């Protein structure tokens, strides 16, 4: 088969010529295969003529999706043939992202055409968006399925911020550090390699040396063990348990100077199975106050957390409405909060805080609908980060202007994630011994 041209922008017409057994019909398609979705960029059916010749055209239609640089061309003539990729030339080539996303877990349905349909798993596809448009930040943290968690901050203190990704459920526990363009800088194993529940990550400068540390929390199935690492993955101390070590719902983490003393704090939220218990720790792991319940203490969906100076933002975990709330560092609510999605959606909501407000990702069961809000709760941005078959939920992070510094008191260095979609069925799952009166009802 021949085809011309071999590349071009949206709208390009590709001319195809080939031969095929006259008993067959020819089907040609141009598509993009991400690990998490498959999008047709042009399809056509062609009748085989005398001598087995056929010809046809395909018009490139990008649907405004400027992500991929190469599109796969396949032609079915009795059997499937694939050809050299078509080079798409009008993709976005620069710009610093302000919102980062990653599928939260493995929740991708079957892909659609071209035949044969295949199951496509949700791998750890990291995307960066600026003003709702996909930027050059568009890479896979790992080629295994499972999604993950994402945070951003300047872990080496120089140049741009780095992207930190925690592995998703099913993967051995791992943290990867990437440049904004997706180049792998380093990786390390924060927990026992046999633990496969996933790793939550947050990034922020705990000691004021202008290099952000990486804070990890075990996801569901692990104890609420919070650990601290430098940007190269060297552990700083042995970490601490944010809740009762026997609680295996995991722990969500965020970093920010929530009490305004100039030093960053670690904020934790209990994972699913626990009550919506938020706690604050200093860099040494010493509790700052007793913490507070962001929602009804009887709610056992867990709580997603994010932080900025003098501010803690929470998102209700699965089982409740997608209720976002705002608190000061002592746990006093600053407003009633708002619902980031339809109040009837029970998949939960994950939150991040950027310089201009709150970023939300839906929990499992929702489409990959990412939104940004002012702190007052007015929606300022909305986009679908992935194809509609990504239903595992989306974890989000936010990056400050310029993509550079992340300081102890500055925004943009904190994030969170929520191990949505996983329900712990422990008879008394929410027992939180570290806080008087903190036990929750059984699930």
Binding flag, residue 402, Ca ion (CB under 5 A): no
- Looking at the Cβ atoms of 139 and 247, the one nearer to Ca ion is 139
Backbone angles phi, psi at 401, to 5 degrees: -60, 140
Shortest Cβ distance from residue 329 to Ca ion (Å)? 7
289 vs 368: CA distance, rounded Å? 36
Shortest Cβ distance from residue 408 to Ca ion (Å)? 8
Q: Contact letters (x/-) for Ca ion, 246-285, by CB under 5 A?
A: -----------x-x-x-x-x--------------------
The span of 1-9, 200-208, 246-254, 343-351 binding Ca ion (CB under 5 A) equals 200-208
Q: Contact letters (x/-) for Ca ion, 139-178, by CB under 5 A?
A: ---------------x-x--x-------------------
Shortest Cβ distance from residue 311 to Ca ion (Å)? 12
419 vs 199: CA distance, rounded Å? 9
332 vs 326: CA distance, rounded Å? 8
Shortest Cβ distance from residue 125 to Ca ion (Å)? 22
Q: Considering only residues 123, 211, 219, 225, which one is a binding residue for Ca ion as defined by CB under 5 A? A: 211
Q: Contact letters (x/-) for Ca ion, 108-127, by CB under 5 A?
A: --------------------
The span of 35-43, 105-113, 211-219, 392-400 binding Ca ion (CB under 5 A) equals 211-219
Nearest Cα to Cα of residue 314 among 355, 258, 235: 258
- Looking at the Cβ atoms of 213 and 369, the one nearer to Ca ion is 213
- Looking at the Cβ atoms of 363 and 413, the one nearer to Ca ion is 413
259 vs 311: CA distance, rounded Å? 8
Shortest Cβ distance from residue 259 to Ca ion (Å)? 4
265 vs 236: CA distance, rounded Å? 15
Strands 265-270 and 251-256: antiparallel
Decide: 160 and 179 in contact? Cβ < 8 Å: yes
Q: Considering only residues 70, 207, 328, 381, which one is a binding residue for Ca ion as defined by CB under 5 A? A: 207
Binding flag, residue 70, Ca ion (CB under 5 A): no
- One DSSP character per residue, 311-375 reads EEEEEE-TTS--EEEEE-TTS-BSS--EESS-TT--S-EEEEEETTEEEEEE-TTS-SEEEEE-T
Which residues have CB under 8 Å from 234's CB, separation 6+? none
Binding flag, residue 209, Ca ion (CB under 5 A): yes
Query: Alpha carbon of 130 to those of 139, 142, 367, 382: distances in Å?
Result: 16, 23, 20, 11
106 vs 317: CA distance, rounded Å? 18
Shortest Cβ distance from residue 95 to Ca ion (Å)? 18
- Looking at the Cβ atoms of 128 and 250, the one nearer to Ca ion is 128
Shortest Cβ distance from residue 124 to Ca ion (Å)? 21
Q: Which residues pair with 293 in a beta bridge?
A: 277
Q: Is 319 helix (H, G, I), strand (E, B) or coil?
A: coil
Shortest Cβ distance from residue 271 to Ca ion (Å)? 24
Q: Is 195 helix (H, G, I), strand (E, B) or coil?
A: coil
Residues near Ca ion (CB under 5 A): 154, 156, 159, 205, 207, 209, 211, 257, 259, 261, 263, 265
């Amino acid at each position: 088969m021949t085809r011309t041209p071999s590349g071009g922008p949206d709208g390009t017409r590709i001319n195809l010529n080939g031969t095929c057994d006259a008993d067959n019909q020819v089907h040609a398609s141009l598509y993009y295969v991400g690990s998490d979705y498959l999008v047709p960029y042009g399809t056509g059916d062609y009748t085989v003529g005398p001598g087995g010749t056929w010809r046809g055209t395909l018009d490139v239609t990008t649907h405004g999706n400027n992500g991929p640089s190469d599109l796969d061309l396949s032609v079915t003539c009795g059997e499937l043939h694939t050809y050299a990729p078509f080079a798409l030339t009008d993709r976005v080539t620069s710009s610093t992202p302000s919102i980062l996303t990653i599928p939260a877990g493995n929740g991708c349905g079957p892909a659609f055409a071209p035949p044969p349909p295949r199951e496509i798993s949700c791998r750890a596809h990291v995307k960066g968006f600026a003003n709702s448009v996909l930027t050059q930040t568009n890479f896979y943290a790992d080629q295994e399925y499972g999604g993950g968690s994402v945070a951003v901050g300047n872990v080496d203190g120089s140049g741009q911020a780095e992207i930190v990704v925690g592995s998703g459920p099913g993967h051995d526990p791992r943290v990867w550090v990437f440049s904004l363009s997706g180049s792998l800088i380093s990786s390390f194993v924060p927990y026992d390699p046999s633990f496969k529940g996933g790793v939550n990550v947050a990034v922020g400068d705990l000691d004021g040396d202008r290099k952000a540390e990486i804070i990890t929390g075990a996801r569901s199935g692990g104890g609420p063990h919070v650990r601290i690492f430098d940007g190269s993955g060297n552990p700083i101390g042995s970490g601490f348990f944010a809740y009762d070590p026997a609680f295996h719902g995991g722990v969500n983490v965020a970093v920010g100077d929530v009490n305004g003393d100039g030093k960053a704090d670690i904020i934790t939220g209990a994972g699913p199975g626990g009550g919506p218990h938020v706690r604050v720790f200093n860099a040494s792991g010493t509790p700052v106050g007793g913490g507070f319940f962001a929602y009804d203490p009887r709610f056992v969906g867990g709580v997603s957390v994010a932080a900025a100076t003098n501010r803690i933002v929470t998102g209700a975990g699965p089982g409740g409405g997608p209720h976002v709330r705002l608190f000061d560092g002592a746990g006093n609510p600053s407003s009633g909060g708002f619902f980031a999605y339809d109040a009837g959606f029970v998949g939960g909501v994950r939150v991040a805080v950027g310089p201009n407000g709150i970023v939300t990702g839906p929990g499992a069961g929702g489409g990959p609908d990412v939104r940004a809000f002012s702190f007052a709760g007015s929606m300022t941005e909305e986009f679908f980060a992935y194809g509609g078959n990504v239903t595992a939920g989306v974890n989000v992070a936010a990056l400050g202007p310029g993509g550079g510094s992340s300081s102890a008191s500055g925004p943009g260095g904190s994030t969170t994630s929520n191990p949505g979609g996983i329900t712990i069925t422990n008879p008394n799952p929410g027992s939180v011994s570290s806080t008087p009166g903190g036990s929750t009802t059984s699930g």
